[in-house]
């Protein structure tokens, strides 16, 4: 990844080309992640059942099902994002298309809150799992550190890769609206 941030003011045709490229790339990433999560769901379901059979602890089954639930949420989110990025209509009126692009490339989107919920479901699964009972505080520190690191890395990637698309969309919207 090139960490030189390009925030050049580009024209509409250049922006649309970059948006099409990134929308396609992002849809493919979401498709791959969706497949991974759909593969993990039955695997973790079997692991949860096997762990329950071994331990006879209902809490272990519940912990495993929390993992499965988090994977299900992630799979649905990835499918939704894939559908959204695959169905972008560049033939819409320019202002409408730019506003939709502006919304797609915001760093924080309301539907991403589902990913946070899925993360905390996964964390609850870790917390309840009997195999980690003796290291609860250590585990929570690591899990929260991973979450924080993921958010920071995501924001850095957004800043260098997607913020120029966001900024140029915003600039062109302002030009069209005459601000």
173 belongs to a structural domain: yes
98 belongs to a structural domain: yes
1 belongs to a structural domain: no
Identify the band that residue 144 occupies on the pLDDT scale cut at 50, 70 and 90. Answer: confident
Structure confidence by residue, pLDDT tens digits, 89-99: 999 999 999 99
Query: Residue 147 is encoded by which pair of tokens?
Result: 């979450």
72 belongs to a structural domain: yes
pLDDT at residue 132 is higher than 70 = no
Considering the entire predicted model, what is its pTM?
Answer: 0.84
47 belongs to a structural domain: yes
The pLDDT assigned to 126 comes to 81
> What is the domain count for the chain?
1
Owning domain of residue 163? 12-177
Residues 83-91: contacts with CB under 8 Å, at least 24 apart? 85/23, 85/24, 85/26, 85/27, 85/30, 86/23, 86/27, 88/19, 88/20, 88/23, 90/16, 90/19, 90/20
Q: Rounded CA gap, 101 and 109, in Å?
A: 12
């Amino acid at each position: 990844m090139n960490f030189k941030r390009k925030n050049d003011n580009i024209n509409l045709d250049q922006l649309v080309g970059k948006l099409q490229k990134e929308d396609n790339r992002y849809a493919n990433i979401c498709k791959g992640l969706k497949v991974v999560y759909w593969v993990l769901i039955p695997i973790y379901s079997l692991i949860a059942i096997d762990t329950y059979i071994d331990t006879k602890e209902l809490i272990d089954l519940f912990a495993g099902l929390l993992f499965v639930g988090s994977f299900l949420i992630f799979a649905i989110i990835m499918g939704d994002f894939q559908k959204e990025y695959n169905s972008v209509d560049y033939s819409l009126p320019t202002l409408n298309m730019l506003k939709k692009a502006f919304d797609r490339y915001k760093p924080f989107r309301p539907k991403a809150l589902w990913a946070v919920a899925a993360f905390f479901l996964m964390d609850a699964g870790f917390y309840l799992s009997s195999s980690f009972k003796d290291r609860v505080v250590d585990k929570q520190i690591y899990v929260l550190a991973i979450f924080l690191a993921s958010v920071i890395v995501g924001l850095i990637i957004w800043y260098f890769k997607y913020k120029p698309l966001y900024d140029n969309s915003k600039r062109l919207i302002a030009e069209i609206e005459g601000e």
